[in-house]
Structure 1
Amino acid sequence: MERNLHAYSLIKTLLVLIALATAACHREVALPPLPLSNITLTDKFFDVWPTSPTRAFVVGDRGKVLLTEDGGRHFKRIDIGTQLGVFGIQMADDQNGYLCGQDGLVMRTRDGGKSWERLNSRTNLFIFGLSFPDALHGFFVGDRALVLSTTNGGESFTKRQLQRLFPPELSDYALPYEEPVLYSASFLDVDHGWVVGELGRIWATENGGKSWDEQQQPLVAQWKRPLGPGDDARFADFILPTLFSVSFRDQKHGAACGLEGWVVQTDDGGKTWQFAHQSDKPGAAPDTLVPGAPQIPARDPLFSIDLFAGDQGITTGLTGTVLRLQPNGAWAHDPSVPAIPFPLSQVRFFDAQHGWIVGYGTILYTEDGGKTWRQCQG
């Protein structure tokens, strides 16, 4: 019995000493807070704009703007003073840049992205895309067929709706086709540009937006989906799939992509457009699918496309889909990109070797022309 009491006393003493030692450790060692990651799985990144081989801006939901200067090894967050979603960004040169987003958000930087000022866009509509051929001339596109243009670096804007005007006898029937959303713009210079959007709209201008021409008509004959019971034959060219992104490498060669996983391309400045075929892998024969015919399984929507380096092109989509332009004109699934089952919102290359892909919780970087990709951790 005495031995048990002695053992109990010894254990109690040891426990007291451990408690005191632990308390002493807590008093003397201040544990630093865990660092907050700039890239999380809950992030939604919508656009990226590289300004050098290793420097790029990334923008996304809740006003998030990130900057890397070392090829994505480290990022720093830039406070732009708003929690609104940022859908697009472009630096027109080293110092001047613009971004756009939710609720009519348009902002400008004049110091290389260190600080941003909000401009009066004169709208509360969502603005999804922008294109600036130089620091003064730019175009923004968005909801309800919105086009904003500026010739003075955002000091003032001209606002219009870029849509077809229907004759009075069709006005009642045309309501479902009015004010289509415009998602993307690509301007090569202050005069020549293209805009794409909902219902397969493709618009082009050769005079800086003073006048616009529709270009999607050649696609209508290629789209073999029959009209449904509620479709009106007078609006047959409004059954084309929505286009989310457009990219031109020069005044003749351009491509766009969109809702049903199709890429359309032109070799004559948009006078004619063709649906492009796809391949399962590089080097494989192009498929023989008919545009508009039922596809089982359905293709992923494609959200972005970038033509770069003279003859290269990449498009990205919903569940990590990445297609690469092949020498035969087909687009093949690219096995070099890590398998990521998340939406990939944007792809942009700075030059033939250095490029970025961003999406939901994802930032990827390549420095070898897309042969390998590194997932950035922030």
Structure 2
Amino acid sequence: MKFACSISIALGALLFISAPAMGTSSEVSPKSAVMAPLAAQSLLTDIQRLPSNRLVAVGERGHILFSDDGQHWQQAEVPVRASLNALYFVDELHGWAVGHDATILYSSDGGEHWQLQQFLPELDKPLLDVLFENRLHGIAVGAYGLMYRTEDGGQSWQVEFHLELLDEEEQDYLLELKDDDPELYAIELTAILPHFNRLYQADGQLLMVGEAGFMGISDDFGRHWELLEPFYHGSLFDVAVTTEGHWLAVGLRGHVFLSDDEGDSWQAMVLDSQATINSVIVQPEAIYLTGNAGLWAVSTDQGQTFRFSTEVEGRAIVNAVPFQQQMILATELGIRQLPQQKSD
């Protein structure tokens, strides 16, 4: 399960209810992240290249780093020490980062400074991914079906629960419980859904994957969902769409699945590794997979086959982005670089 730390499980995630946004907890005050000289060599869990070509990475203990050349990294001042699991910039200035304690951070200057929009340590649940369709409208998701939505750029966040993300048996159980035992019903709302590990948007569709083979599809940025029939019973940690429209889902123990019919059927692929796969990076020249135990796999045939290697001293690679003929990696050992696959 992915929530113990964005990498810890990777190393090891219509009834509609809307509630008012919950901001910073009044019981526990957040502490600012420590400025660490070796932050670029510590556990990093996500990385993004902005339209300005700036690189921004997040990781453990509230570390956020930025670089304009891929070589020299600066640590941003961050108002929380919660480990961070994901980030998303909608343009070269405006971005969000999410993590443990249901933390949501916001930057309006390309990652140099951050404001705390949400901090809820009493929930004891991490947010695992965040995605925005524009500067105002975004979604953050996490453990046990945690989902928040904002329509105002994060000034307020509303918690959501979508009954359609459960199978029919679970839906019937929950609806009966609502009338028979309201107290237990309220508890089940916080635990019955699987961990939502990753969001992905392509061609107007929003895809979401999680534990126990969960995959949901939305045509309206998550306001309504369709639950896909499980094609795998282990956790899925990422999903992507190739340049030719194939869907690629990855997860535990080196499992890779390819669909040519938008999720109606899936073909299991054999990878020369049983390491958990953390991320899929689709580029015009190649598709890259990153994973635990230094897993680095490259496909130049739209995901039909992959060449596997072990990198980064056999330690986990969590995500990567292309930058100046290189792939910049967010890893268990911090920032690393590998040559980018050249086009034939």
1:317 and 2:291 are equivalent in the alignment: yes
Structure 1 segment 303-314 matched on structure 2, within 5 A: 303-309=278-284, 312-314=286-288
Cα distance change of structure 1 residues 122 and 355 upon mapping to structure 2, 3 Å threshold:
same
Match of 1:91 in 2: 89
2-side partners of 1:52 and 1:365: how far apart? 20
1-side partners of 2:57 and 2:174: how far apart? 47
Q: Is the 8 A contact 2:238 2:249 kept in 1?
A: yes
State the AA in 2 paired with 1:256.
A
- Match for 2:100 among 90, 102, 119? 102
1-side partners of 2:81 and 2:302: how far apart? 45
- Match for 1:207 among 198, 210, 220? 220
Q: Which runs of 4+ in 1 moved over 4 A?
A: 169-172
Post-superposition Cα deviations, 1:117-164, rounded to whole Å, max 9, x if no partner, equal 111377832001112232222221101111222232112223223530
Percent of residue pairs bearing the same amino acid type: 22
Cα distance change of structure 1 residues 249 and 64 upon mapping to structure 2, 3 Å threshold:
same
Backbone CA RMSD of aligned residues: 2.9
Structure 1 segment 169-248 matched on structure 2, within 5 A: 178-188=192-202, 191-217=204-230, 219=231, 240-248=233-241
- Match for 2:171 among 166, 172, 177? 166
Q: Is the 8 A contact 2:275 2:293 kept in 1?
A: yes
Q: Could you list the runs of 5+ residues in structure 2 that have no partner in the other structure? A: 1-35, 178-187
Task: Give the number of the structure whose residues are more often strand, by fraction.
Answer: 2
Q: Is the 8 A contact 1:53 1:350 kept in 2?
A: no
Match of 1:37 in 2: 38
- Secondary structure in structure 1 of the residue aligned to 2:212: helix
Match of 1:119 in 2: 117
Q: Is the 8 A contact 1:303 1:317 kept in 2?
A: yes
TM-score normalized by the length of structure 1: 0.68
2-side partners of 1:326 and 1:216: how far apart? 29
Structure 1 segment 143-162 matched on structure 2, within 5 A: 143-162=143-162
Offset of 1:53 from its aligned partner? Answer: 8.2
Offset of 1:301 from its aligned partner? Answer: 0.9
Match of 2:180 in 1: none
| 142-151 or 61-70, which deviates more | 142-151
State the AA in 2 paired with 1:105.
T
Cα distance change of structure 1 residues 325 and 105 upon mapping to structure 2, 3 Å threshold:
same
State the AA in 2 paired with 1:198.
E
Offset of 1:74 from its aligned partner? Answer: 0.9
Offset of 1:306 from its aligned partner? Answer: 1.6
Cα distance change of structure 1 residues 146 and 250 upon mapping to structure 2, 3 Å threshold:
farther
Larger radius of gyration: 1
Post-superposition Cα deviations, 1:337-369, rounded to whole Å, max 9, x if no partner, equal 745211111123369x45322111132235x52
Q: Is the 8 A contact 2:295 2:311 kept in 1?
A: no
- Secondary structure in structure 2 of the residue aligned to 1:82: coil
Aligned residues: 288
1:349 and 2:322 are equivalent in the alignment: yes
Q: Which one has more relative contact order, counting CA pairs under 8 Å at least 6 apart?
A: 2
2-side partners of 1:312 and 1:81: how far apart? 38
2-side partners of 1:100 and 1:339: how far apart? 25
2-side partners of 1:215 and 1:318: how far apart? 27
TM-score normalized by the length of structure 2: 0.74
Cα distance change of structure 1 residues 145 and 326 upon mapping to structure 2, 3 Å threshold:
same
- Secondary structure in structure 2 of the residue aligned to 1:257: strand
2-side partners of 1:137 and 1:272: how far apart? 31
- Match for 2:333 among 355, 358, 361? 361
State the AA in 2 paired with 1:47.
D
Structure 1 segment 1-12 matched on structure 2, within 5 A: none
Q: Is the 8 A contact 1:145 1:181 kept in 2?
A: yes
Cα distance change of structure 1 residues 149 and 267 upon mapping to structure 2, 3 Å threshold:
farther
Q: Is the 8 A contact 2:248 2:303 kept in 1?
A: no
Post-superposition Cα deviations, 1:182-209, rounded to whole Å, max 9, x if no partner, equal 11101236x5201100101000101121
Q: Is the 8 A contact 1:260 1:302 kept in 2?
A: yes
Post-superposition Cα deviations, 1:201-231, rounded to whole Å, max 9, x if no partner, equal 00010112121011244x26xxxxxxxxxxx
Q: Is the 8 A contact 1:38 1:75 kept in 2?
A: no
1-side partners of 2:225 and 2:298: how far apart? 30
- Secondary structure in structure 2 of the residue aligned to 1:208: coil
Q: Is the 8 A contact 1:215 1:272 kept in 2?
A: no
Match of 2:9 in 1: none
| 101-110 or 132-141, which deviates more | 132-141
